[in-house]
Every structure is written in C-alpha cells, then in structure tokens.
Chains A and B, each alone.
Chain A
Amino acid sequence: MVDTRILIVDDEVEFASTLAERLELRGYRASSANCAETALALILASPPHVVILDIQMPDLNGLETLETIKEIHPEIEVILLTGYGSINSGIQGIVQGAFDFLMKPVSMTTLLKKIKQARQKTLEA
C-alpha cells in the first residue's frame, strides 16, 4: 500500500486517538487533533493526504474548517463525519469540496473503503 498520511479531527479525544491507533495498525500514518486550530497547524506543518473531519465540533464550525483546509491545501481530500442532525451540513460540505460524508457512528470497513477511494483521488490529481 502506498504511503498515506491521515489526520483525524474530532473533539472527542478518545475517539480520535483510538481511531488513529486502529488505522496505524492497518498500515496508515495517522494522527489526531481535537480542535480546528491544532488541526490547521498540523496541516500546515505536515500536510496529510486525507483528513477525516467531524463537523459536529462545537468550537469552530466544521464547514469553516473545511473551507480553510481547501484554501490552504486544496489537494487534501476531506472525509466528513456527520451526526444525525447534521446531514444537511454533510451535503453542504460536498458542495464546498469535501470528498464525501459518512454518518456517525461509522463502521471501520466503510471508513477504510472511503479512505482508499479518497487516497486514490489524490494520486490521480
């Protein structure tokens, strides 16, 4: 598998870190951030290929973060994680350039498939 860097952005610390760990076990280079500022800082420092972004985060509107990511590194593919109430935001996100959105709770298999597809896109770009 090709080298893939993934950044997980979710304010639920345990969730993000565990997910990152599980991805690492599957051969990805995954790190996690718990707020938009940290995320953006990490993206600037070491841009990942795929960002998994939770858009239920309260502190900064997830879609705004998406917009910023797309501004600074448009080649990064973003997979949005939405909750029950934010499906609209998911659709909005796609309009704003996200690769796709998945509803939480997300199954590992689905997520892995999406990551593969997103990474494929970055390689084609």
Chain B
Amino acid sequence: MNDIRKRLATLLLKKVDAASGDSATLQSRYKQFRVSLLVAITLIAMLPATAISVFGYFQYLVRLEKQELQHLSWHLEDSSAKLSALVNSSLQSGNGLPDAVTLQQVAGTNNPQTDSFIVDVKGQLQDPSTSFAPKEIQFPMDLLIPGDEQKTFAEKKPWGVGVTLYGITSLDHTPWFLILVKDGPMDKGEWMNFQLTLLVIFILCFSAGMFIIFQLVNILTSRIRESDANRMGLLSDAEHSNKLVSIGRLAAGVAHEINNPLAVIDQKAGLIEDLIDMSSEFPHKEKVDRSIVGIHDAVQRCKIITLRLLNFARKMDTRIEHIDLNDLLYEVICFLEKEAIHHQIQLDLQFDRELPQIESDRGQLQQIFLNILNNAIDAVVNDGVITICSSRVDEDRIMVSVKDTGSGMDPETLKHIFDPFFTTKETGKGTGLGLSITYSLVKRLRGDILAENNDNKGMCFTVTLPVRSQVVING
C-alpha cells in the first residue's frame, strides 16, 4: 500500500513537473518558500516580543528615576542632619573635617553606586571622594538657588547610557554643602530616543514581515487557484467530451435506425421496378417508371445524410497504442483524488503489478474509468471505501473492477443502468449519459462491462478488456 502511495506521489510530481519545469527548480522553489515564511514569521513574532520585554524593562527603569530622586531626597535630609552634627562636633573638638571614610559611612554612601562630597559655596571639594566620581569635581553651584534647602536633580551622563542623580543640601551651622551623587537609571530623553528607535525598528520589521507573508499567501493561493482551474478544466473537458460522445452515439443510433427502413424502401422500389420491366405496356407505365427513379434518388439522398451523421459520430478516432493500465488508472485517480478526500472517501488500490500492457485507446480508457469512478464517488456520498482492482483474467483479457460501499441498486433499476438518459439522481444533477457512454466506449474497445450489486454493500463495476486490439481499422 505504501509503495503504491509512493508511486502515486511520484506520478503526481511528474505531472506537476511537466507543468512547471523540472523537479530540481520545483524543490528549490519550495525551499525558498519555506525559508521566506520562517523569516517572515520570525520578524513578525520575535521582534515585537523582544521589543515588548525590553520596553517593559526600561519602563520600569524610568519609573525608577522618580523614585530614585525621591529616595535621594530623603537620604539627603537624613545625611544632612547627621553630617551637620558630625562636622560641627568634629570642628568643635578641633579635629578639622572628619576623614572621608567616616564621612562616607555617616552619609551612608560607602557603596559603589553613591558618593558624597562636601563643598564650599564655590563648589570646591573639601574632601577627596573615594568612589567612582572623578577626583576633582567642580560642582556647578549655580544650580543651587539661594534659599533652597535642598535640591535633587538628574543629569545625563556625559559618557554611556543613563543619568546621574545629584542631591545637594546645606550643612547646618557650617559654611559647607553636602552633595550626594548616585548612579541613576536612564534619563527621560534617552529613554524616549530608545523607545522611538525600537518602535521604528519594530514597525519596519513588522511591515517587512507582513509584506513577505502577504506575497507568499498570494503566490500560494494563486497556485492553488491554478491547479483547481486545471482540475476543473480537465473535468469540464471530460464532461464536454462525454456530451460529444453522447451526441455522436445518438446520431449513430438514429442513422442506423433509419438505414433499415431506407433499405426496405429501396428494395420495394426495386421490386416494383423489376415487375414493371417484366410487364407489357400499361397506361402510365412511363410515369410509374419515372416515379421509381424518383424514389431511388430520394433514398440516395437519405443515405448521404445518414452517412454524414455516422461520420460525425465517428469523429472520435480510435488511436491504438500500448498502455500500462495501472498507470492510466493512477492518472484518473489523480483527477478525482481531491473529490474523494473532500468526501472522506478512502481509495483502496489493489493493482496487479504483473499486469501486461494492453493495446487500446488512451483517451477512451480515461473516459471510461473517469465515468465509473465518478459514479462510485457519487454512490458513496460520504465516508466510504472505493476499491479498485486490476488483474489478468487469461491470456487475452485483463479486468478492472471498481467496488463502492454505497447503497447499491435494486435489480429492476440495475437492468436499465446503461440506458441513455437513465439516472437515479435528482433533476439537474447528472445527465444520465455517463454510464451509457461508458458502455458504448467499452464495446467500441471490444471489451465488456458488468454492473452488479456487492454481497455486503454497494455496487461493483467490472470492465474486461482485450490485451490485443483486433483489426485496427476504424469502425
């Protein structure tokens, strides 16, 4: 079963290749397609996700700035009070300014993120800083408006990302000021820039991704549309061909039917002619003679007409070639596979791998099996199995059977199944021509077709065909 599916797939691929170039370019095309799709999805999905998480993180940081400044403010107050007391007591005891380490400890800035200095009104450093700030700092004192007790602000780092938080307050009872410096989060301006950049990147990537996906979807749908149109085209071709064959068959039938009475007229006229010739003169003999001639001529004209009709019927030439029937059946199955899948019908293929090639007409065989399979699909409606078997009957004949799990048919209806215009479908659906055409095609190929009910359920159509076509003259 699996290798049959593989063969089917190979055949399908062959068909696609035939339509769209060689297999290698097809493969690479599909590869490109997949890669583009992946890139597009990545662009669209990954970047926003990243952006959102980064956004979130930095949003957090920005909120922090406000908080940080607030904290700095409290710290400043707290330190200011402590330091005032410390400095005053140190001075009063005559020790001068406390050393840096003590200062830092009391100010609570003995950690890498913060630093504190004591400056005079001119901004000159009174004690050396031990932390990350540069050794000499000339503090811009004009920032401190006279009268302000305390001020905190954030300033963008001259190097790198982020801000530095500054807090400044005057130390009570001393001519000096306390400056606290803290490493702060990203500054607002930078943050806005960052957001903007990220947004732009996001939009670009998203647009690019969407564009790619849009194109891919277009390509995909146009391909699907193409192949659907093809299929429809093939099916409508088959339908059209069916109709032509049916007209042909009707025409042939009519022609044959008429030929018989024509022959009778001809003979009877001939007889009259013979009798006239044999008899002696009688009144109107000449006229009767001429009338006979007239009858003969009219008959001739009718013959020409019927010949034309029969010629039309025979326009479907039979072209004999060597055919691998299993391959042909696969092709027909390909046409209808979508139909079957759509109705959840399973196709069970049991092909004789040793089946010999037969001499027959490809187009007509396709027509025959297309009709039978179509019929089987219609019979099953939904959820069923159609079993197609091919086998050799004897040295001269092979047989193909199509079994369905439909509702079968009662013996009375079964008798008329191959009649033209006979259909069990509701008006408008089905022309009733399919099986009658199938019948005449099978006969034309010197085969046999049998329709019977299955033992358990549904119907079975068996087509027997000769391995060798007999005399190869159209007729």
Q: B18 within 8 Å of A by Cβ?
A: no
Q: Which residues of A contact B260 (CB under 8 A)?
A: 12, 15
By secondary structure, the B interface counts as: helix
Given A15-B260, A105-B259, CB of A88 within 8 Å of CB of B267: no
Q: B127 within 8 Å of A by Cβ?
A: no
Q: Which residues of A contact B470 (CB under 8 A)?
A: 88, 92
> Of residues B266, B275, B278, B303, which shows the largest number of chain A Cβ atoms within 10 Å of its Cβ?
B266
Q: Are A104 and B307 in contact (CB under 8 A)?
A: no
Q: Are B252 and A85 in contact (CB under 8 A)?
A: yes
Beta-carbon contacts of B297-313 to A below 8 Å, as 1s and 0s?
A: 00100010011001000
CA distance A22 to B303 in the complex (A): 21
Q: B262 within 8 Å of A by Cβ?
A: yes
Q: Are B267 and A19 in contact (CB under 8 A)?
A: yes
Q: Are A87 and B473 in contact (CB under 8 A)?
A: yes
Q: A44 within 8 Å of B by Cβ?
A: no
CA distance A53 to B270 in the complex (A): 20
Interface residues on A, range: 20 to 34
Q: B82 within 8 Å of A by Cβ?
A: no
Q: Which residues of B contact A104 (CB under 8 A)?
A: 259, 263
Closest residue of chain B to A89, judged by CB?
B475
Q: A91 within 8 Å of B by Cβ?
A: yes
Q: Are B259 and A83 in contact (CB under 8 A)?
A: yes
CB distance from A66 to the nearest CB of B (A): 15
Q: A86 within 8 Å of B by Cβ?
A: yes
Q: A38 within 8 Å of B by Cβ?
A: no
Q: Are A105 and B303 in contact (CB under 8 A)?
A: yes
Selected contact of B256 from candidates A21, A83, A91, A105, CB within 8 Å: A83
Q: B394 within 8 Å of A by Cβ?
A: no
Q: A64 within 8 Å of B by Cβ?
A: no
CA distance A89 to B473 in the complex (A): 10
Q: Which residues of B contact A21 (CB under 8 A)?
A: 271
Q: Which residues of A contact B271 (CB under 8 A)?
A: 18, 21-22, 25
Q: Which residues of A contact B426 (CB under 8 A)?
A: none
Q: Which residues of B contact A85 (CB under 8 A)?
A: 252, 256, 310, 475
CB distance from B295 to the nearest CB of A (A): 13
> Of residues B267, B274, B475, which shows the largest number of chain A Cβ atoms within 10 Å of its Cβ?
B267
Q: Which residues of B contact A14 (CB under 8 A)?
A: 264, 267-268
Given A21-B271, A84-B310, CB of A91 within 8 Å of CB of B473: yes
Selected contact of A88 from candidates B256, B262, B307, B475, CB within 8 Å: B475
CA distance A22 to B275 in the complex (A): 9
Selected contact of A92 from candidates B259, B267, B270, B471, CB within 8 Å: B471
16 A-B interface contacts by CB (under 8 A):
A14-B267, A15-B263, A18-B270, A18-B271, A25-B271, A84-B255, A84-B259, A84-B307, A87-B473, A88-B471, A88-B473, A89-B475, A91-B471, A92-B470, A92-B471, A104-B263
Interface residues of A (CB under 8 A from B): 12, 14-15, 18-19, 21-22, 25-26, 56, 83-89, 91-92, 104-105, 108
Given contacts A85-B475, A105-B262, 13 further A-B contacts (CB under 8 A): A14-B268, A15-B263, A15-B264, A18-B267, A22-B270, A25-B275, A26-B274, A84-B259, A85-B252, A89-B475, A104-B263, A105-B303, A108-B270
Q: 6 nearest interchain CB pairs? A: A18-B267, A87-B475, A88-B475, A14-B264, A84-B310, A12-B260
